[in-house]
Amino acid sequence: MVTFTAALAATEAVRTTAPVWQAPALAAAVAAIAMGAAHLVAAPWRDRLHAERAAKRLVDDEFAHLRRLHAVTDQLDLGIELAERESDVLTVLGRAIATLFEDRENALLLAPTGGSGVSWSIASFAEGLAEPEPIGFQARCGALSTRRTVRTDRTQALDACPHAQGDDDVSSICVPVWVGGENFAVVNSRGAPGDLPSDDEIRVVEMAARRAGARIAALRTERVGHHDDVARDALTGLPNHTAASRRLRDLFDDNARFALALCDIDGFAGYNDRHGAAAGDLALRLFAEVMGATLRPGDIVARHSGDRFLAIIRGCTAAQAQSAMERVREALVLELADQELAPFTVSVGIAESGSAERVEDVVESADVAVLVAKREGGNRVLLGDFSKVAAARLDDLG
């Protein structure tokens, strides 16, 4: 490489031997040589300076990203600690994920009790959660089946979660949420194909899922502690009759609008005799799963007694509840088609809270509707009529 000193020496040699009339040309040559030499000397330093500045920007960006992750984590911890209801915990979790992944589509996918599939999707935004949308009956999720985070560059890949394979080709992560050791929900985030969150971001999501699940478990323990007689049915995992009755009365006393659906499995005693008690237990568990997967996340599903179940469908009329229970009946048919279990049907009676003077009247009206549905052949959903309740009372007196 030509050094600046060598360039000056060469210039001096030319100057001492060149005639006077060549002075202007000589001056131009000197300037050109000097500029070239200066460029050769300065270029490496300039490139090094640019590289150092670029590296500093990368470090600054990384620190800013880490500070943002810590800020989201701190806000999440406090928000979950202050949450007093399960819905509040889900809202905090959903908002945190949406804040973390601003340029991605985020959702909470809810799982039926003990299931390895998801049935409801709740879109998550920094401002809050959208209304739940049905996915279908227990679309399987690898995060629930394997109990670990599942990430895929493209949802059209063979190893992508089944619940995402029918969608557009996107990148996806699924992080499971457990409550008391049982599958509860999945945190799902989708983005451009091949564009997955960083390992640090995924670790934050996994931490958020663990803390949300622990908080929900603690809230449930607190509720049981306040009401020692409140428990879950051992066979189905649903709330038992006592828990459902207390919730039903609380809603009625608060003048909340709801519809009550009572459900009986048609001919269950004969089903048990023909297929055995084990098959009967499987039928009860299957129907519990179908109800939980088909009704909305905020609705209450419980086992009343024996082969009777109930659903408290909040904020709707009897006609709307009838449509919801028709979907349950249809979902049961579809699920039985994929099972080796002997088929069975259900009869459903529905009553609305608004027309009743006592909560007992709501229950009795739904009960009469179930009896009428069975007498008409079963496998149907009927609305209760308070006039029929009065007629039934007169028959009893007669």
The domain spans of the chain are 4-62, 86-225, 229-397
Distance between CA 343 and CA 336 in Å, rounded? 6
Low pLDDT (below 70) residues in the chain? 1-70, 113-115, 136-138, 166-167, 223-230, 386-398
Residue 97, token pair as written in the block = 């994920």
What is the structure's pLDDT at 149?
Answer: 94
pLDDT value at residue 79: 86
State the burial class of residue 349 (Cβ atoms within 10 Å of its Cβ: 0-12, 13-18, 19+): buried
pLDDT at position 67 is: 64
Locate 331 and state its tokens.
């979902």
Compute how many other C-beta atoms are within 10 angstroms of the C-beta atom of residue 290.
26
Report pTM: 0.63
**Unique residue bearing structure tokens 């496998």:** 379
What is the pLDDT, as a whole number, of residue 181? Answer: 81
Say how far apart CA 19 and CA 37 lie, in whole Å.
25
* d(C-alpha 74, C-alpha 64), whole Å: 15
Q: Do domains 86-225 and 229-397 have the same CATH topology?
A: no
> Which residue from 137, 92, 86 is spatially nearest to 116, judged by alpha carbons?
137
CATH classification code of 86-225: 3.30.450.40
Specify the pLDDT at position 391: 53
| Residue range 229-397 in CATH 3.40.630.30 | no
Instruction: State the pLDDT at residue 137.
Output: 59
Q: Residues of the chain with pLDDT > 90: what percent?
A: 41
What are the structure tokens assigned to 45, written together?
């330093």
243: which residues sit within 8 A by CB, 6+ positions away?
A: 227, 230, 231, 232, 302
CB 94 within 8 A of CB 129: yes
